[in-house]
Amino acid sequence: MVRLRSVVAAACVALSIAGVGPASARQVTDMAGATVTVPDGPVRVVGYNPPISYFVAVVAPDALVALNRDPTADERRHLSERLLALPVIGSWFDRMNKEALVALRPDVVLIEPKGSVAKQAESELATLGIAAAHVRYDRLDDIAPLFRFLGRLTDRSERGEALAVWAEGRLTAIDARVAAIPHERRPRVYYAQGSDGLETVCAEGTQLEVTVRAGGVPVVPCGVGPGRKGRRAIALDEVIALQPDVIFATDKAFAETVRSDPRWQVVKAVAEGRVHVAPVDMGGWIDKPPLFTRLLGLTWVHAVLYQTPEQGASEIAAARTEFFRLFFGEP
């Protein structure tokens, strides 16, 4: 730790002596209302975790100067050669390499506006003389404002606006469809996590936002007290008593075996063959990490809940093609 601190300190001194910094600058207001100063020209950006970095990658890929982890196989299919060649420096949740961070000379590091890790990151960045800007991305309604902010930050306002408009259009279209469906006709959904399907989150959990926004009604209520919205264990007897119409599972093996598991056959969703695993393509479509792929998840969930398999497959395919063409320039 002493060696790391000394190296980082030396790097900061070297940057100062070299006169690194913008000859002219501009100010941008971040998503927490704070002002950050960035160069008038190209901006060098680092995200302090993978979701933030990927948001930058679709708005201004040339501005991103590092990744936080090695991309997964499905991510690599969509990322450009330049992005795949970027150095991997870790995230603040996973021992970010501060030496590498300083050596990259970022103009700004994007962090969350709250939480102990974010506070630690902001404090350390101030010590290193690196600007921090706050971004929000947890909720679906954060996505369009984040695209617009990143557009302003990186001088790619037109690109940020195009992505924001697409995101808003997707949300508006789904909201209109769901609003026309009486609540009593909306399918009741159990969210099965873990290899045995007996871990879940309650109705207000952020992992179920896509499901709720797309017209599903989570069957597990929230309790009271700290952590009430977090992941928790649930007994099979409770699931049986809740009798969900649909199950969304995170584990493919569970989704396959539960159909023939006699203990689960009395659950309506299993008996009727309505157990589904959400796609994972450039990130989860309904769950973590909280990426822009959740916009596709809205279409997927709504199709699963309300359309025939043929209708749903057609709409999902069209939405996926449109999404990857706009976000990643794919044909």
Query: What would the DSSP string read from start to end of 204-267?
Result: T-GGGHHHHHTT-EESSPP-SSTTTTS-EE--HHHHHHH--SEEEES-HHHHHHGGG-GGGTTS
Per-residue confidence in pLDDT tens, the chain, 331 aa: 433 344 354 445 434 434 444 468 999 999 999 999 999 989 999 999 999 999 999 999 999 999 999 999 999 999 999 999 999 999 998 789 999 999 999 999 999 998 888 999 999 999 999 999 999 999 999 999 999 999 999 999 999 999 999 999 999 999 999 999 999 999 999 999 999 999 998 888 788 999 999 999 999 988 755 556 678 899 999 999 999 999 999 999 999 999 999 999 999 999 999 999 999 999 999 987 889 999 999 999 999 999 999 999 999 999 999 999 999 999 8
pLDDT in tens, 227-265: 566 788 999 999 999 999 999 999 999 999 999 999 999
User: Which two structure tokens, joined as six digits, stand for 95?
Assistant: 């021992």
Whole-prediction pTM: 0.91
Pairing of β 25-29 and β 35-39:
antiparallel
- Please enumerate in sequence order all residues whose Cβ is within 8 A of that of 180, keeping only pairs 6 or more positions apart, or say none: none
How far apart CA 313 and CA 315 sit, in angstroms, is 6
How far apart CA 63 and CA 174 sit, in angstroms, is 32
Q: Which value, to the nearest 10 degrees, does the dihedral of the CA atoms of residues 290, 292, 295, 300 take?
A: -70
The torsion angles phi and psi of 26, rounded to 5 degrees, stand at -140, 160
pLDDT of residue 6: 42
User: Which two structure tokens, joined as six digits, stand for 144?
Assistant: 């369009």
Strand partners, 133: 110
